Amino acid sequence: MFGEDSYWRDLIALTWNFKTSEGREDIAAMLRATLEHAAPSGFTVLGEPTEADGVTEAWFSFETAVGRGTGHLRLVDGKAWTLLTTLDELEGHEEPKNHRRPRGAEHGANPDRVTWREQRETELAELGRTRQPEVVIVGGGQGGIALGARLRQLGVPTIIVERNEKPGDSWRRRYKSLALHDPVWYDHLPYIDFPDNWPVFSPKDKIGDWLEMYTKVMELNYWGSTTALSGKYDEDEGRWELVVDRAGEQVTLRPRQLVMALGVSGKPNVPVFPGQERFRGDQHHSSDHPGPDAYQGKKAVVIGSNNSAHDICGALWEAGADVTMVQRSSTHVVRSDSLMEHSLGPLYSEEAVASGIDTRTADLTFASIPYRILHRFQKPAFDAIREQDAEFYERLAAAGFELDFGDDESGLFMKYLRRGSGYYIDVGACELIADGSVKLAHGDVAELTENEVVLADGTRLEADLVVYATGFRSMNGLAADIVGQEVADKVGKVWGLGSDTTKDPGPWEGEERNMWKPTQQQGLWFHGGNLHQSRHYSLYLALQLKARAEGIPTPVYGLQEVHHTS
Residue 105 lies inside a defined structural domain of this protein = no
User: Residues 301, 154: one domain?
Assistant: no
pLDDT for the residue numbered 204: 93
For residue 210, the SS3 value is helix
User: Residues 437, 315: one domain?
Assistant: yes
User: Residues 261, 147: one domain?
Assistant: yes
User: Residues 72, 152: one domain?
Assistant: no
User: Residues 162, 292: one domain?
Assistant: no
The last residue of one of the domains, among 468, 494, 529, is 468
Helices (H), 226-318: 307-318
Q: What separation in angstroms does the CA of 356 have from each of 305, 411, 531?
A: 38, 27, 22
Are 445 and 239 in contact by the 8 Å Cβ rule? The answer is no
Q: What is the Cα–Cα distance from 207 to 210, expressed in whole angstroms?
A: 5
Q: What is the Cα–Cα distance from 13 to 84, expressed in whole angstroms?
A: 10
User: Residues 249, 309: one domain?
Assistant: no
How does DSSP classify residue 232? Answer: E
Q: What is the Cα–Cα distance from 418 to 25, expressed in whole angstroms?
A: 26
Domain encompassing residue 373: 276-468
pLDDT for the residue numbered 513: 93
Q: What separation in angstroms does the CA of 161 have from each of 201, 228, 452?
A: 28, 7, 41
Residue 112 lies inside a defined structural domain of this protein = no
Please count the CA atoms within 13 angstroms of the CA of 65 that sit on its side-chain side.
Answer: 15
Q: What is the Cα–Cα distance from 524 to 228, expressed in whole angstroms?
A: 14
* Close Cβ partners of 244 (under 8 Å, ≥ 6 residues apart): 161, 223, 226, 227, 228, 229, 250, 251, 252, 253
pLDDT for the residue numbered 565: 47
User: Residues 46, 25: one domain?
Assistant: yes
Residue pLDDT, tens place only, 298-314: 999 999 999 999 999 99
Q: What separation in angstroms does the CA of 458 have from each of 416, 420, 444, 445, 464?
A: 32, 28, 10, 9, 19
Per-residue pLDDT of the chain in tens (566 residues, 90 and over written 9) = 999 999 999 999 999 999 999 999 999 999 999 999 999 999 999 999 999 999 999 999 999 999 999 999 999 999 999 999 999 999 999 999 999 999 888 888 889 889 999 999 999 999 999 999 999 999 999 999 999 999 999 999 999 999 999 999 989 988 888 889 889 999 999 999 999 999 999 999 999 999 999 999 999 999 999 999 999 999 999 999 999 999 999 999 999 999 999 876 667 889 999 999 999 999 999 989 988 999 999 999 999 999 999 999 999 999 999 999 999 999 999 999 999 999 999 999 999 999 999 999 999 999 999 999 999 999 999 999 999 999 999 999 999 999 999 888 888 888 888 776 688 999 889 999 999 999 999 999 999 999 999 999 999 999 999 999 998 877 778 889 999 999 999 999 899 899 888 788 899 999 999 999 999 999 999 999 999 999 999 999 999 999 999 999 999 999 998 865 44
pLDDT for the residue numbered 562: 84
pLDDT for the residue numbered 289: 92
Buried/exposed code over 1-22 (b: 16+ C-beta within 10 A; e: otherwise):
ebbeebbbbbbbbbbbbbbbbb
Residue 525 lies inside a defined structural domain of this protein = yes
User: Residues 482, 455: one domain?
Assistant: no
User: Residues 182, 231: one domain?
Assistant: yes
Are 87 and 65 in contact by the 8 Å Cβ rule? The answer is no
User: Residues 301, 442: one domain?
Assistant: yes
By DSSP bridging, strand 445-448 and strand 439-442 are unpaired
The last residue of one of the domains, among 441, 468, 495, is 468
CATH number of the domain at 544, please.
Answer: 3.50.50.60
Q: What is the Cα–Cα distance from 66 to 246, expressed in whole angstroms?
A: 38
Strand-pair partners of 244 = 228, 251
Q: What is the Cα–Cα distance from 403 to 394, expressed in whole angstroms?
A: 10
Strand-pair partners of 80 = 2, 75
User: Residues 56, 193: one domain?
Assistant: no
Strand-pair partners of 63 = 41, 68
How many independent structural domains does the chain possess? 3
Q: In what order do the strands lie in the sheet with 439-442?
A: 282-285, 465-468, 299-303, 322-327, 439-442
* Close Cβ partners of 311 (under 8 Å, ≥ 6 residues apart): 175, 177, 178, 429
Q: What separation in angstroms does the CA of 427 have from each of 56, 84, 420?
A: 37, 34, 21
